[in-house]
Amino acid sequence: MSVILLLGSGGREHAFARALVMSVQCEQLFIAPGNAGTAMLGTNVDVSPNDFESIKAFVLENKVDLILVGPEDPLVNGVVDFFEADSLIKHIPVIGPSKMGAQLEGSKEFSKNFMKRHGVPTAAYASFTLAKLEEGYRFLETLRPPYVLKADGLAGGKGVLILDNLQEAKDELKAMLGDAKFGKAGEKVVIEEFLDGIEVSMFVLTDGKNYKILPEAKDYKRIGDGDKGLNTGGMGAVSPVPFVDESFVHKVEEQIIKPTIRGLAEEKINYIGFIFIGLMNVGGEPKVIEYNCRMGDPETEAVVPRIQNDFLALMQATASQQLDKIDFKIDPRTAATVVMVSGGYPGTFEKGYTIKNLDQVNDTIVFHAGTKMNGNDVVTNGGRVLAITSLGNSIEDAIQKSYAAAHHINYDYAYYRKDIGQDLISLVK
Ligand code: AMP
Ligand code: GLY
């Protein structure tokens, strides 16, 4: 029996929590800090995922056997290295990469250079600092529009600009490097070739030696229907994705996953955990847009419900480097996730609205993201509030169930996209 600590507080963590508590091996689950949904499955702990000293004290006091890290920032901040460096806690496995491994997400320049070193297909690029601004302008002049500019560091998904016009691209480059448009994250900027195609998120779980390819998902990043408007953390997800057939997966495995895992080993980068590969399907050829050092949100809410294995056993096999012994079982049905947000998101929004009818939906899983308890009420507590997942025998079927639930649940100023999965339905036809 195991005592588990899960770090994070979003829909992804609620999906992990639900999968973990289904295991007969799960004795107790703590979630730090969690949300109103995770509180129904385990014990929320008022500790920040970035407060490593407090996590250490908690883990020792509560005899935690395994830690699963949801979000990227504790990984980029070195939570794994913190545990390894301390003799009192170094025996406790933490599922997540080392600080160096997390640089695959933490630094665009690091990840692009890593891809180059290991021959992983990606967009052509170069990176620039303020001292090289003029060279940046010259590089932009060699590219065809649209122009892609990326702040090097973590910018909460907001550090990427795609511009149609050369002068605009030069102005934005100057704003990022000269005027700190994205703060420290933008002190270095990666300029890259635009990849034209359909995007897909692929996920790999690795124990450092072996790996498993998890179900893929399509994410819907923009706030508005038809992919219009501002970027968000993600407004919906569908898994599987129709064009990700055996031949495409084979290409991804040979050209991207194997060189990535081999590259990490060759460079002695300790990496035990999830690798999220953001891909563009460019005319049937996969090219990497980005790596993330964790699972996606809301993709996890569509992917994890399709994994039929004991999820805790999967995490334990990862920690003990025995993933090769696991026989992976995936539900063939389609999972569709619709994210309900607070009106105003990704800009400013109010919190604290009571969420009604949460327990009056059937045949669907309601994952909490930005929620908390207020007395006996569940209230909104973030931009992304709920992630509603349904399984169905077709995309239409799964989507229809999630929308029926989204329609029924309500709180003031609730908003969700109405077109999740529509693009994939037309791909199938
Ligand atoms: P990233 O933060 O790197 O995921 O970029 C955010 C979004 O910008 C991606 O999800 C893509 O939709 C888009 N994007 C990033 N890089 C490129 C590229 N080279 N070509 C086309 N679209 C891109
Ligand atoms: N849904 C995209 C992400 O988790 O980064």
pLDDT digits (tens, 9 = 90+) for 108-153: 899 999 999 999 999 999 999 999 999 999 999 999 999 999 998 8
194 CB near ligand 1 (under 6 Å): yes
Q: Are strands 26-33 and 43-44 parallel, antiparallel or unpaired?
A: parallel
**In this structure, how many other beta carbons lie within 10 angstroms of the beta carbon of residue 229?**
14
pLDDT at 420: 98
Of 162, 221, 223, 276, which is best to mutate to test ligand 1, by the most ligand atoms within 8 angstroms of its C-beta? Answer: 162
d(CA 73, CA 286): 27
Of 393, 92, 115, 395, give the one whose Cα is nearest residue 272. Answer: 92
Task: Give the position, in ligand 1's atom list, of the atom nearest the Cα of 219.
Answer: 10
- How many Å lie between the centroid of ligand 1 and the Cα of residue 395? 25
300 CB near ligand 2 (under 6 Å): no
**Cα–Cα–Cα angle for 241, 247, 252, nearest 5°?**
75
Q: How large is the average pLDDT for residues 1-12?
A: 97
Within the chain, which residue ranges are assigned CATH 3.40.50.20? 2-96
191 CB near ligand 1 (under 6 Å): no
- Average pLDDT of the chain is 96
pLDDT at 372: 97
- How many Å lie between the centroid of ligand 1 and the Cα of residue 210? 29
On the 0-12 / 13-18 / 19+ scale of CB atoms within 10 A, 37 is: buried
pLDDT at 180: 84
Which pLDDT band holds residue 194 (cuts at 50, 70, 90)? very high
290 CB near ligand 2 (under 6 Å): no
pLDDT digits (tens, 9 = 90+) for 55-78: 999 999 999 999 999 999 999 999
Which pLDDT band holds residue 155 (cuts at 50, 70, 90)? confident
Q: How large is the average pLDDT for residues 293-309?
A: 98
pLDDT at 184: 85
Q: How large is the average pLDDT for residues 185-202?
A: 92
Ligand nearest to the CA of 161: 1
Q: Which residues contact 188 (CB under 8 A, 6 or more apart)?
A: 109, 127, 128, 129, 151, 152, 153
Of the options 3.40.640.10, 3.30.360.10, 3.20.20.70, 3.40.50.20, the CATH number for the domain spanning 2-96: 3.40.50.20
Quickly list H helices, 227-365.
246-252, 258-266, 299-303, 311-319
Q: Say yes or no to pLDDT of 187 above 80.
A: yes
Task: Give the position, in ligand 2's atom list, of the atom nearest the Cα of 292.
Answer: 5
Which pLDDT band holds residue 16 (cuts at 50, 70, 90)? very high
Phi-psi region of 153 (alpha: psi -120 to 50; beta: other; left: phi over 0): beta
pLDDT at 340: 98
- How many Å lie between the centroid of ligand 2 and the Cα of residue 91? 30
d(CA 370, CA 348): 14
Ligand nearest to the CA of 279: 1
Ligand nearest to the CA of 124: 1
C-alpha neighbours within 13 Å on the C-beta side of residue 299: 26
Q: Say yes or no to pLDDT of 369 above 70.
A: yes
On the 0-12 / 13-18 / 19+ scale of CB atoms within 10 A, 131 is: exposed
pLDDT at 428: 74
CB of 274 closer than 8 Å to CB of 309: no
pLDDT at 429: 63
- Token pair 């600009």 is found at 161
- How many Å lie between the centroid of ligand 2 and the Cα of residue 296? 4
d(CA 406, CA 414): 9
pLDDT at 158: 72
Of 200, 289, 294, which is best to mutate to test ligand 1, by the most ligand atoms within 8 angstroms of its C-beta? Answer: 289
Q: Say yes or no to pLDDT of 232 above 80.
A: yes
296 CB near ligand 2 (under 6 Å): yes
Quickly list H helices, 246-310.
246-252, 258-266, 299-303
Within the chain, which residue ranges are assigned CATH 3.30.1490.20? 124-192
Which pLDDT band holds residue 357 (cuts at 50, 70, 90)? very high
Q: How large is the average pLDDT for residues 360-374?
A: 96
Which pLDDT band holds residue 82 (cuts at 50, 70, 90)? very high
148 CB near ligand 1 (under 6 Å): yes
CB of 203 closer than 8 Å to CB of 215: yes
109 CB near ligand 2 (under 6 Å): no
Q: How large is the average pLDDT for residues 191-219?
A: 96
Q: Say yes or no to pLDDT of 424 above 80.
A: yes
Q: How large is the average pLDDT for residues 176-185?
A: 86
Amino acid at 239: S
CB of 215 closer than 8 Å to CB of 303: yes
Residue percentage of the chain with pLDDT more than 70 = 99
Peptide bond preceding 286 in cis form (omega within 30 of 0): no
pLDDT at 182: 84
Ligand nearest to the CA of 235: 2
297 CB near ligand 2 (under 6 Å): yes
Amino acid at 145: P
Q: Say yes or no to pLDDT of 47 above 70.
A: yes
323 CB near ligand 1 (under 6 Å): no
**Which residue's CA is minimally distant from atom 4 of ligand 2?**
296
278 CB near ligand 1 (under 6 Å): yes
Residue percentage of the chain with pLDDT more than 90 = 93
Of 413, 418, 406, 386, give the one whose Cα is nearest residue 225. Answer: 418
pLDDT at 185: 81
Q: Say yes or no to pLDDT of 356 above 80.
A: yes
d(CA 52, CA 276): 24
What's the CATH fold of domain 124-192? Answer: Dna Ligase; domain 1 (3.30.1490)
**Which residue's CA is minimally distant from atom 5 of ligand 2?**
296
- How many Å lie between the centroid of ligand 2 and the Cα of residue 201? 9
For the whole model, what pTM was predicted?
A: 0.95
Which pLDDT band holds residue 157 (cuts at 50, 70, 90)? low
